Structure 1
Amino acid sequence: MKPRIFIQKLLFFLAVFSLAFSYEASASSPYPLEYWALRDVIRNVELSPDGKHLALLKIPTKDGVPIIEVYKTDAMDREPYRINSDPMEIQYFYWATDDVIIMGLRQKVRDKIDGFNRGVYEGLLASVDINRKKLKKYDDLGAGIEHLLPKKKNKIIYSYIPGGGDGKIRAAFRPRTYYELNLKTGAKKLILRGKLELGAVEFDGDGVPWLARGFDAGKGEFIWYERVTDKKKWREIYRLSEDSFETFSVLGFDEKNPNVFFVRAQNGKDKIGLWEFDVQKKAFSQPIYLRNDVDVAGVSFHSNRWTNPDTVVGVRYYKDGVQTEYFDSTTAAMVQQLQGIIPNADLVRVDSRDKSGNSLVILNVGARDPGSYYLLHKGKLTNIGSRQPLLEADQLADVRYIEYKARDGKKIPAYLTVPNGEPPFPAVVMPHGGPFVSEVVLYDEWAQMLANNGYLVLQPQYRGSLGYGLEHYTSAFKKGGQGGYKMQDDKDDGMLYLVKEGLADPERLAMFGWSYGGYAALVAASRKEQIYQCAIAGAAVADPLMQVNYYRYRMRGAQKEEQLSMWGDSVSPLEKASEVNIPLLLIHGSVDQRVPPIHAEKYRKALDAHGKDYKYVELEGADHFSNTLFFNHQKLLFESMIAYLKNDCGPSGL
């Protein structure tokens, strides 16, 4: 079955992107940086429950904002119905009924940040009836959709945190208020008000609450409750000390035996596994899936959320990409069949499905595919379009999963984006932010942009990264913070490994990072045993003490030890400014709420005081997060990076 191409509307650059240059792809000519600066052209592609309509989120111009386009699945070449929320920006949407779309909006409401983690945007929910064609906004700021209630017509459940999300308890445990909303009338009915000891609630496909989480402030323990054995009252089933670094997360339940929960936990082991948890006995029963190399990342649910909203069909883990072990043979066979017909198949998944199950939206993402959407409808496979339609598969780079040893013998996993051409390459190490996060590299825009310009890109999963067990995570802050020490060695040792393997040129090495990765770039610039020709630091933490003081009072238990140990005992770039010994490019958003611009201001003053060589680029109106980096931000970011690497990195450029 060959895809027929539906391209008139979605490859919009032919009509709208009249870029002031011509380009002919070849192995030696990288793409214009404007191509990489585009935000996703399309995303969030969804079928209506009856399968009669397909909607997608699209950015119609290079510097435009997202709109929703609604097509009839039987006439995809006809003019769509368009939904624009101006002056608010659509962030995401779901089909709630056959004719009603519910969406999340945001709007810039101030020009400057209002303190740490208080950005310039506010958000709310809205809905559109595609027949009446009228936008309806709901006034609870910060509201989020809890459940689409497939078995209740015109109803959804949404929640919000009264008074905002600030507080000492993790966001997942802060008390929320839950309402059932009638999308036709706008009427809302209070379901329950959360409280600290019982705050975050999960609902099943019937809209019945079955799980809740809370916090016992007196004992310093997180608590889990169930309402399966007795649907009229909550019953406590598990407690976890706030001082524990272990994980306990309920991901679903066994539909054939609702008294069995599916739990992601260490349960005394180093790696996180998927376990059965008997709620009547309040205890783990047996493991469902365990690995000795990486953590279980989560579960996969049935692709038809209208008929099977609670059905778990597989377990996921991250290693050489996203891997899924399916429990359901029908789902496994379907995915295998789709992988055989989708070009450049890598991570292939069903993103949306109608109630009948006969019409599917399929998404493929991989190293040579930024994300392509396909519609399978009435036996025909249609290419809807790509997130980045200007980028062609043969001009993108392969991604490899590798492992190497740090100087103390610790094994470090990493992802390597390899440019087209012959080694040795100039190389850039690009540590992720966080630092305590899990990273899996399928298609990474920044890495691919660098590779397209000839750079080998290493993304190390240095100690402290999640996904590789408890010891790998806690080794970053136990026995004193390792920021700037062993965590930094992990990055350098990865580059030295690439040099030893003949992949990287030892005279052409650089570091680029954002957030914690930017901090690592600042640390790299002042290391005495220098292996880099330059460093590029984006949104960098320059003063760790100031940064941790922003949220010191909000932390408790293990989280407090993690943050205070890592940052408190780590290298301070501000204090090491006098030791900077390579050229530096600093980049910062003017309204960065997570790492406020004062970090860049203080660090630049210190560099000036010591006569150090650096350049500074400010991204006007950009926050810390990728969804606030618009076309002009990314264009300036990429142009600054590539020009700096080419001309200013080391004696003669990289």
Structure 2
Amino acid sequence: MSFRRLQGIRRFPALFMLCLLCGAAGAQAAASLPSVESFFAYPTLVNAQLSPDGRYVAMLVPAKDGYVRLGVMDVATRAPKVIASFDAADISQFHWVNSDRLVFDAGDRTIGLGEQTQAGGLYAINRDGTDFRQLVLRDLQQQSSSVRSVLPWHTFFYSTIRNSDDIYVGQVDPGGIGKVKPIHLLRLNTRTGRSAIVDRPGLTTRWLMDWQGEPRVATTLDGDMESVFYLDPEQKSWRKLIEFNTFTGHGFVPYFLGPDGSLYVSSRQGTDKTSLYRYDLVKNSVDPQPLVSLQGYDFSGAIVSNDKKFLGVRFETDAEDTKWFDPEMQAMQQAVNDLLPSTVNRITVAGHAQTPYVLVRSYSDVQPVAYFLYDGKEKKLTALGNSMPQINPQQMSGKDMVHYKARDGLEIPAYLTMPNGASKKNLPMVVLVHGGPYVRDGAWNWNREVQFLASRGYVVLEPEFRGSTGFGWKHFRAGWKQWGLAMQDDVADGARWAIAQGIADPKRICIAGASYGGYATLMGLIRDPDLYRCGFEWVGVTDINLMYNVSWSDISSEYLKYGMPVLVGDQQKDAAQLKATSPLENAARIKQPLLLAYGGSDKRVPIIHGSKFRDAVKATNPDVEWIEYPEEGHGWHLQKNNVDFWSRVEKFLGREIGRPASTSTSTSTSTSTSTSTSTSTSTSTSTSTSTSTSTSTSTSTSTSTSTSTSTSAD
């Protein structure tokens, strides 16, 4: 299956609810090039959820003052109502407790991650706006500043309980820096605020609920060993199902508990790719035959159900798809797809629906997320709204998955985005390296950074280099201890593939990325100086030994002790390799123009990575630009900083690799002011402009078969 850009992409109507609640943003004229601000504006529709009875839709929408509010709409009357808001804070996340009550937390998107001093708390309210109750408040001002970035709030919604005002919440002890913290599970009544803690089998890092919403499976971590426990409903005691090494072992990930008590897990079972299996709780073994296998991909997805049965499986290959086992749902999916033929259309069903409506979340590579209601009885689709109504899909650029061979023969998947309306030949290109690095980062969806780049005339290549997850054990395993080596070669081989295909101009290629992608950017400039004309990176690792040695990083001690020596390199055994693959140690070899950007409050990659490298590289390279956002953490949270950063990158790229003559000039109308500090010693006087790359702030360190709570360094 390949989701290529299709004909007939439509502009979805602005949300009528937004017009009533907050006023919808207007779309730009199709003739003008989208401004920087249009790509990095806050969404006007943040989230939408159908109530368990299917009679209401709850949404997060911004008010005229900019703060995000919680609204509820009756699907029958289409009557919207704001039920919760704060005077000087946003509502960040919400969940239906039951069809009459919701819970939500608070945040503030007007401050940087490094400035957050208070946890989000937890609140409850009826769908008509009555019976408001504050359930949890956590003020972290007295804690170490590192705690705020590791854990902005530490009591969070976990699961609803069927036919109850109670919910389960996870509570994490702030603890010390770099510690893996257990998730305590509490049963909390949303009307009284009373809670009771649930017994756990160890240092629990993950819980799985059964069909009724009760805890049945717990995953624990002890050093580098991960265990999965099952709470027998008859015996009322925990029993261990499996134990394996969290970084290198072949265990399984619990996914779902069915109405008959069946446990479904993701596992390899001796094969290269993970699949979805049923786990036999009587025999204590995984069934030999998988329920869902994906050719070329590890299984990653979710079970779709109502309160009566298992309806289907949602999964990701080159794009998201759903396999329905229920004929009625399959027919409904086809009907929706016929009405929205150019998008991925994710259908959400109510748990115990009393109406014929389902919620549709629709998106594509050129279309930001939009929400619809589909009436299964009348076969009609009603638009609720678009998260980014100012974005015109006709101006966006199509994304496709491609494959190329690395120099040792390993097949490398990658996403390729070609500029809309360009000649498709001999174009300037940005090779965008994802963070992690042990994650799958690319997806067939609308990505603001990639689309911004493409709108300025740049090809964007996003390699899923070895070590990336989601493409099998062999692909993942091939990346162990290959920072700056084979992982780096995979990226370079992708650039050379694009040159050989006639896509990229060999004299106009720039490498870029954040976090690990920032590391790869620097190593690319060092290892392949004739391939890359320039580089820009943000929040990038500049020395692996610094990851080990910096005491104020939020990288967990477990990952430093058990994960990094295996996946990245051992400080003692691999000392020579770590030095040879250190951008800091090799900074003098970088002669190309370079842009560096860091957050002053970053705890994942502390700013010392950037400042030490800046001082080292500027000693021999006069063309280095430095940007610092003091209030930001591992990536840019504030809109003004995103606009400032990408505007600077646009100028940098335009100066260094230019823009095709056929692409029109940017018409950005930014009036925001940056609070960053920036220094540059570049002597270039070119005035052409262009664009930049995507932010990756992943903290996942999960291996191919298990979900670990230890945090990655990048």
- TM-score bracket, normalised by the shorter chain, equals 0.7 to 0.9
Could you say what the CA RMSD is over the residues aligned between the two structures, in angstroms?
3.2
What do the CA deviations read for 1:289-333 (whole angstroms, capped 9, x no partner)?
33452111133322x4xx24x736225232x21233333333322
Letter in 1 for 2:404: Y
Which deviates more, 174-183 or 575-584? 174-183
Contact map agreement 1:533 1:583 (CA 8 A) in 2: yes
Task: Give the secondary structure class of the aligned counterpart of 1:42.
Answer: coil
For residues 47 and 315 of structure 1, the distance between their equivalents in structure 2, rounded to whole angstroms, comes to 18
Higher RCO, 1 vs 2 (CA within 8 Å, ≥6 residues apart): 2
Distance 2:135 2:582 in 1: 46
What aligned pairs does 1:516-527 form with structure 2 within 5 A after superposition?
Answer: 516-527=516-527
Alpha-carbon deviation of 1:110? 10
TM-score, normalised via structure 1 length: 0.87
Report deviation, 1:607.
Answer: 2.1
- Given candidates 237, 243, 247, the residue that maps to 1:239 is 243
- Deviation per residue, 1:590-610 (Å, 9 max, x gap): 322211222221111112222
Q: How far apart, CA to CA, are the structure 2 residues paired with 1:40 and 1:109?
A: 14
What is aligned with 1:543? 543
Is the deviation greater in 373-382 or in 562-571? 562-571
Give the secondary-structure state (helix, strand or coil) at the position aligned to 2:368. strand
Match of residue 252 from structure 1: 256
Q: What is residue 98 of structure 1 aligned with on the other side?
A: 99
Letter in 2 for 1:208: E
Q: Deviations over 1:188-222 (max 9, x none)?
A: 2x1424353666432223243321222455xx532
The equivalent position to 1:44 in structure 2, one of 44, 47, 51, is 47
Instruction: Name the structure 1 match of 2:558.
Output: 554
The farther-off stretch of 601-610 and 351-360 is: 351-360
Residues 528 and 340 (structure 1), Cα distance of their counterparts in 2 relative to 1, 3 Å cut: closer
1:89·1:105 contact (CA, 8 Å) conserved in 2? yes
- What's the offset of the Cα at 1:17? 5.9
Percent identity between the two aligned chains: 26
CA distance in 2, matches of 1:290, 1:619: 45
Q: Letter of the aligned partner of 1:646 in structure 2?
A: G
1:25 CA drift (Å): 2.0
Aligned to 2:156: 144
Distance 1:284-1:75 versus aligned 2 partners, 3 A rule: closer
SS of structure 1 residue aligned to 2:369: strand
The equivalent residue for 2:679 is none
Q: Structure 1 residues 178, 8: CA separation in 2 closer, same or farther (over 3 Å shift)?
A: closer
Relative to its length, the structure with more strand (as a share) is: 1
Query: What is the correspondence of 1:527-606 to structure 2 with a 5 Å cutoff?
Result: 527-549=527-549, 550=553, 551=555, 553-555=557-559, 556-558=561-563, 560-564=565-569, 569-570=577-578, 571-606=581-616
Partners of 2:24 and 2:44 within 8 A in 1: no
Q: Deviations over 1:225-274 (max 9, x none)?
A: 22246342222221213463434101113433x2x421101122221112
Query: In the alignment, is the contact (CA less than 8 A) between 2:211 and 2:258 conserved in 1?
Result: no
**Structure 2 residue 450 is matched with structure 1 residue 447:** yes
Deviations 1:499-525 (A, max 9, x none): 111111112111121111111112222
In the other structure, the counterpart of 1:358 is: 356
Which residue of the other structure, out of 142, 166, 172, is the alignment partner of 1:161? 172
In structure 1, distance between residues paired with 2:391 and 2:112: 34
- Structure 2 counterpart of 1:122, which letter? A
Distance between the aligned counterparts of 1:67 and 1:49, measured in 2? 21
Does the aligned pair in 2 maintain the 1:353–1:360 contact within 8 Å?
no
Aligned match of 1:340 in 317, 338, 341? 338
Per-residue deviation at 1:124? 2.4
- C-alpha distance after superposition, 1:577-627 (max 9, x if no partner): 1111210111222322211222221111112222431112223422214xx
Could you tell which deviates more after superposition, 435-444 or 465-474? 435-444
Change (3 A) 1:409 1:200: closer
Q: Note the residue ranges of structure 1 that are not aligned, 5 or more in a row.
A: none
The amino acid that maps onto 2:85 is N
**Residue matched to 2:642:** 634
Amino acid at match of 1:278: D
Displacement of 1:368:
1.9
The alignment partner of 2:625 has SS state of strand
CA contact (8 A) 1:363 1:372 kept: yes
Read off the aligned partner of 1:311 and give its amino acid letter. F
Distance between the aligned counterparts of 1:561 and 1:389, measured in 2? 46
**Partner deviation per Cα, 1:468-490 (whole Å, 9 max, x = no partner):** 1112112112xxx2212211111
Equivalent of residue 223 in structure 1, options 218, 227, 236: 227
Tell me the distance in 2 between the aligned counterparts of 1:210 and 1:468.
Answer: 30
Letter in 1 for 2:214: V
Supply the AA of the counterpart residue of 1:436. Answer: Y
Question: 1:640 Cα shift?
Answer: 1.1
Could you tell me the TM-score, scaled by structure 2's length? Answer: 0.80
Does 2:125 match 1:128?
yes
The residue number in structure 1 matching 2:312 is: 313
Seen in structure 2, the aligned counterparts of structure 1 residues 54 and 109 have a Cα distance that, compared at 3 Å, is closer
The count of residues paired between Structure 1 and Structure 2 equals 622
Contact 2:22 / 2:63 at 8 angstroms: preserved in 1?
no
The alpha-carbon distance between structure 1 residues 98 and 314, as it changes in their structure 2 partners (threshold 3 A), is closer
Distance (Å, rounded) in 2 between the aligned partners of 1:15 and 1:405? 50
- Give 1:30's aligned amino acid: L
* Contact 1:296–1:315 (Cα < 8 Å) also in 2: no
Of 225-234 and 385-394, the range deviating more from structure 2: 225-234
Map 1:187-226 → 2, pairs under 5 A = 187-188=194-195, 190-194=196-200, 196=202, 200-216=206-222, 221-226=225-230
Deviation per CA, 1:109-131: give whole Å up to 9, x if none: 998959xxxx7563322222333
Asked whether 1:181 is paired with 2:164, we answer no
Distance 1:330 1:500 in 2: 48
Cα distance in structure 2, aligned partners of 1:111 and 1:389: 25
Deviation at 1:465, TM superposition (A): 0.3
CA distance in 2, matches of 1:296, 1:100: 34
Where do residues 317-466 of structure 1 align in structure 2 (5 Å cutoff)? Answer: 317-318=316-317, 320-342=318-340, 344-350=342-348, 355-356=353-354, 358-377=356-375, 379=378, 380-420=380-420, 421-424=422-425, 425-442=427-444, 443-466=446-469
Deviations 1:358-382 (A, max 9, x none): 2222111111211111123574422
Residue by residue over 1:555-594, the C-alpha shift from the partner in whole angstroms, topping out at 9 and shown as x without a partner, is 3445641143599745111111111121011122232221
Matched residues in 2 for 1:314 and 1:252: separation? Answer: 11
Q: 1:42 touches 1:59 (CA, 8 Å); kept in 2?
A: yes
Question: Within 2, Cα distance between the matches of 1:512 and 1:198?
Answer: 37
1:505 and 2:513 correspond: no
Structure 2 regions of 5+ residues with no counterpart?
1-9, 139-152, 659-683, 691-714
Does the C-alpha gap of structure 1 residues 374 and 197 become closer, same or farther in structure 2, counting only changes over 3 Å? closer
Deviations 1:379-409 (A, max 9, x none): 4422111111011121111111100011222
Write the letter of the residue equivalent to 2:278.
E
The equivalent of 2:695 in structure 1 is none
Q: Within 2, Cα distance between the matches of 1:467 and 1:237?
A: 24
Given that residues 590 and 597 in structure 1 are in contact (C-alpha distance below 8 angstroms), is that contact kept between their aligned partners in structure 2?
Answer: yes
Aligned letter for 1:355? A
CA distance in 2, matches of 1:68, 1:226: 37
- CA 1:560/1:128 → structure 2, altered by over 3 Å: closer, same or farther? farther
